Structure 1
Amino acid sequence: MIKRLLLGAALLCAAQLSLALSPYTHASKLPAAELPAQLSQVEKKLQAEGFSVLGQHLPKGVAGRASLVVADPAMLAAIRASGPSSSIVAAAIRVGVDSEGNVSYMNPDYWYRAYLRGKFAVSQEAVKSVQQRLVKALGEGTGFGGDVPQAELTDYRYMFGMERFDSANSELASYASFDEALKAVKDNLAKGVGDTRQVYEVVMPDKKMAVFGVAMNSSSDGEGWWVNKIGTDHPAALPYELFIVDNKVYALYARYRIALAWPALGMGQFMTIINAPEAIRTTMVRLATAGK
């Protein structure tokens, strides 16, 4: 009887563990080469599987790390079908590369559950297709970066009292129309407001939604200082997103966005970047509102 109970408990624990997801997947390693050449190799592999390249991101101050950002037509169609909605933040697929030839990519099952939330179920075919073609293009190793129970991702937060996806402080600015909001953001990115640079954009004007990948390059409060403190082995975590839905501009608050991208961090590590969430929000607010 006791053995049966212990076996049942072990099976239950195993089942619960199997429902935990990691944010990233190791891919096949590349031969030694300069980082730009490695990015070019990855780009060609992804294009061969039907992905379109949106941009490259080499975070300033984070040595030997880069991400390649691509999009998938079926996933964009699923996002378009949900619009206008915050699902637009899920438009980009991020692949990380480092100077040693290590490649990793965001786990679609993890990130789409968090970003699509209630829209995830109707997008599962597109999610599976993205996963299968990432594996075909880049290979599939072990997951890494932490484990979050699958059921928690739709309404994820790192701990009690911290922000979720739809927290009020993710809203940055409001305009009279989508067109006005889009113009303000594009103008500010073109000017490099807040020492930023546009990495990519996906704009769906008919659905009144858009998303931009933003490089934050300030040596004092850009992404370099906080990424180096919490770990540079997640290059597929970046770039950070700024997005527009209808007439409002948003950026996911960093106590949510950083925690989602680095879920294995301890509270002590988070305390070393305690100023990062507001620094990021300040930069994003400037992009959303400068010149209003």
Structure 2
Amino acid sequence: EKEVATYKIAAYSDVEAAKSKLTGAGFEVVGTYKGDSGTTVLFTNAAMKSMANKPNRGLAAVGRLLVDDENKQISIANPIYFGKAFMQKEYNHATAASALASLEKAFGPLKNSTDKWEFDGLAGYHFMVGMPYYEDMMVVAEGSTADLVAKAQKAKGTTAVVKLGDDRYVAFVSLDRRTNGFVKKVGAQNGEILPWAVLIEDGKAKALSAKYFIAISYPLLTMSEFMTIATVPGAVEKDLQKVFK
């Protein structure tokens, strides 16, 4: 399809039922995160981890699902949409489509979200001129990979640390409660944007620029709406730096 939905919407169920459907479909549930609008469930499988076990690609290894208590629905981050964005030229459509097919079988029928973007534009996505691309990640800490992983694991509120390779991990860490408030402002229905992912490899802890990740997670966001959360990108960076102090 020319345009791809950012999320796939399924009928509402509780967290335990959602987790059971994921494991029944061959996924490994690696963590859950309670947010203001519901619960994010993080999941992966061997194919997703293998695909993403490459430099700067680890963020594609873990899928996100939101049990949305506010809107009484389940919202699943589309593995094709985020796979294309995060894997860039190394995107593997067979792996992404297989993950989506498994999710459809477990939760289907799935509807497309109103949020969407042109498939061909996802790898080079940026909000507007002068705004960051996928590759413009922020380095929030440096040190040995083992030390950075240990700090992520010990940090208060860490949801999961997933090993992809001998020197590659992806951690899902909590932001300060005040920072988290941006989700309510720009749309609780996409609350699976939290917790924030940090890629740990080659002695660096790297995260997507908040200006990029918020925009690609909310592709219908207008400039005026973005300006209502203008302080959030700086707050996200500070919060992530605290995790690794």
Count of aligned pairs:
244
Partner of 2:111: 142
Partner of 1:264: 220
1:241 aligns with 2:197: yes
Unaligned runs of 5+ in 2: none
Report the TM-score when normalising by structure 1. Answer: 0.79
Any conservation in 2 of the 1:65–1:97 contact (CA below 8 Å)? yes
Partner of 1:47: 23
Q: Deviations over 1:205-239 (max 9, x none)?
A: 42x111011122x333x31x111111101133322
Distance 1:21 1:102 in 2: 20
Larger % of helix: which?
Answer: 1
1:104 aligns with one of 66, 71, 75: 75
Distance 1:140 1:255 in 2: 32
Identity of aligned residues (%): 24
Distance 1:228 1:97 in 2: 15
1:90 aligns with one of 31, 49, 60: 60
Q: Which runs of 4+ in 1 moved over 6 A?
A: none
Larger % of strand: which?
Answer: 2
2:99 aligns with one of 119, 130, 153: 130
Any conservation in 2 of the 1:156–1:164 contact (CA below 8 Å)? yes
Structure with higher Rg: it is: 1
2:168 is aligned with what amino acid? M
1:204 aligns with one of 131, 142, 164: 164
1:229 aligns with 2:189: no
Q: Deviations over 1:1-58 (max 9, x none)?
A: xxxxxxxxxxxxxxxxx4111210111233xxxxxxx100011111111001100011
Unaligned runs of 5+ in 1: 1-17, 31-37
Partner of 1:26: 9
Distance 1:65 1:89 in 2: 22
Report the TM-score when normalising by structure 2. Answer: 0.93
1:157 aligns with 2:100: no
Any conservation in 1 of the 2:142–2:148 contact (CA below 8 Å)? no
Distance 1:88 1:72 in 2: 13
Any conservation in 1 of the 2:8–2:112 contact (CA below 8 Å)? yes
1:119 is aligned with what amino acid? E
Distance 1:140 1:158, change over 3 A: farther
